[in-house]
């Protein structure tokens, strides 16, 4: 997305993960994305008023690959990275999969999607680094137990790259493979995360 208007020095576009889209009904053609006001680009964006035009290009990136059959899945969202996991969970559930969420952030004020996840999925675990909400710790701390508890065949994750790297060390790896069934972190195949970097536009 272009920010700053026509005469701006902010030449680089900002990337945002889609939170939802409405193809039919009264709001047909509406898309939703999540913006955190971090810098001048996102500050300009959140100050736009209804009816103003934005310069968008999309959708871009690599879509989540869906399992060929209904299987248990764990979805791991870090901060605003939870946004694209909500519509993913809806698709998985519609296909017959059991879905459990792990939602985390550094602190409670940076959590996103907890209530939406609870409306969609059967179980939601919340973590914060400082313990201000949910369990104290990181999403990757509770990931191995969630995989074992749910017997997850696939794990999807979206969030900061540091979180995705920790996830790989905790029993979830690069795109396109399923989580192992054996017990313990060492027994998990290091091939379980369908990862998508959630860019927090600056």
**Over the stretch 83-126, which tens digit does the pLDDT of each residue have?**
999 999 999 999 999 999 999 999 999 999 999 999 998 799 99
Low-confidence ranges of the chain (pLDDT < 70): 167-202
Q: What is the pLDDT of residue 170?
A: 54
Q: Which two tokens stand for residue 127?
A: 């973590």
Q: What is the pLDDT of residue 24?
A: 83
Q: What is the pLDDT of residue 131?
A: 94
Distance (Å) of CA 68 to CA 80, 90, 154, 186: 28, 16, 11, 27
Q: What is the pLDDT of residue 111?
A: 93
**Which pTM was predicted?**
0.76
Q: What is the pLDDT of residue 20?
A: 83
Nearest to 85 by CA among 98, 94, 96, 74: 74
The answer to whether 151 touches 74, Cβ cutoff 8 Å, is no
Q: What is the pLDDT of residue 190?
A: 36
Strand 30-33 relative to strand 18-22: parallel, antiparallel, unpaired? antiparallel
Q: What is the pLDDT of residue 14?
A: 81
Q: What is the pLDDT of residue 65?
A: 85
Cis peptide before 153 (omega within 30 of 0): no
Q: What is the pLDDT of residue 138?
A: 92
Nearest to 45 by CA among 107, 3, 75: 3
């Amino acid at each position: 997305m272009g920010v700053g208007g026509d005469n701006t020095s902010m030449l680089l576009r900002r990337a945002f993960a889609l939170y939802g889209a409405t193809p039919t009904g009264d709001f047909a053609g509406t898309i939703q994305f999540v913006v955190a006001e971090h810098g001048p680009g996102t500050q300009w964006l959140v100050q736009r008023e209804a009816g103003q035009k934005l310069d968008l290009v999309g959708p871009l990136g690599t879509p989540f690959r869906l399992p060929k059959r209904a299987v248990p899945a764990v979805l791991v969202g870090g901060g605003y990275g939870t946004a694209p996991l909500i519509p993913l969970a809806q698709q998985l559930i519609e296909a017959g999969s059991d879905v459990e969420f792990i939602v985390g952030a550094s602190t409670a004020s940076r959590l996103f999607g907890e209530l939406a996840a609870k409306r969609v999925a059967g179980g939601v675990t919340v973590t914060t680094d400082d313990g201000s909400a949910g369990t104290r710790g990181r999403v990757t701390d509770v990931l191995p137990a969630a995989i074992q508890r749910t017997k997850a065949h696939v794990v999807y994750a979206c969030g900061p790259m540091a979180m995705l790297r920790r996830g790989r060390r905790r029993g979830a790896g690069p795109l396109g493979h399923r989580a192992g069934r054996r017990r313990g972190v060492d027994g998990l195949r290091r091939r379980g995360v369908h990862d998508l970097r959630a860019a927090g536009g600056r």
